[in-house]
Amino acid sequence: MTLSELRLRVTAESAVIVVVLALVAATLGGARVGLGVLAGGALAVGSFWRLAGDAVSASSGTTASGRWLIASALRFGGLAAVTGVLLVLDWAHPAALVFGLTILPFDLVAQGLRLGRVQGEG
């Protein structure tokens, strides 16, 4: 599996999981909780998409290390700014936002374990 395939698979699976859990959260906890899960998941997916793109360009040697560092700082700054706005305006529940942010890392680990198992069998 290439990095592009992994990125697409993790993105698609995480997006489906986030939407389903956001609907459940909105049903059980209200719109603010559902929006928190949805926003956290969307931020995680967007950040992962950018990080994977930076990793591809860094591994191919097409980008300077200083440029990668600046891109990472901008990505983290954007993530912090959007999270801050969501919390200050009280649009998203803080715990739901954190929950949404953690969905993608768990899916990424699961994908890595699956790939390791498949490669170990092959």
| pLDDT tens-digit readout, 3-58 | 788 889 999 999 999 999 999 999 999 999 999 999 999 999 999 988 887 777 77
| The predicted structure's pLDDT at residue 6 | 87
The answer, as to whether pTM is greater than 0.95, is no
Identity of residue 24: V
- Residues 7 and 109: their CA atoms lie apart, in Å, by 12
Residue range(s) defining the domain that contains residue 68: 3-114
- Over the stretch 55-84, which tens digit does the pLDDT of each residue have? 777 777 665 667 777 888 888 999 999 999
What pLDDT is attached to residue 104?
A: 95
46 vs 44: CA distance, rounded Å: 5
> Is there a domain that residue 120 lies in?
no
Does residue 96 carry a pLDDT above 80? yes
Residue 121 domain flag: no
Residue 55 lies in a domain: yes
User: Contact 40/98 with Cβ under 8 angstroms?
Assistant: yes
Whether 122 is in a domain gets the answer no
Q: Count the domains in the chain.
A: 1
CB contact at 8 A, 25 and 55: no
Q: Which amino acid is at 101?
A: L
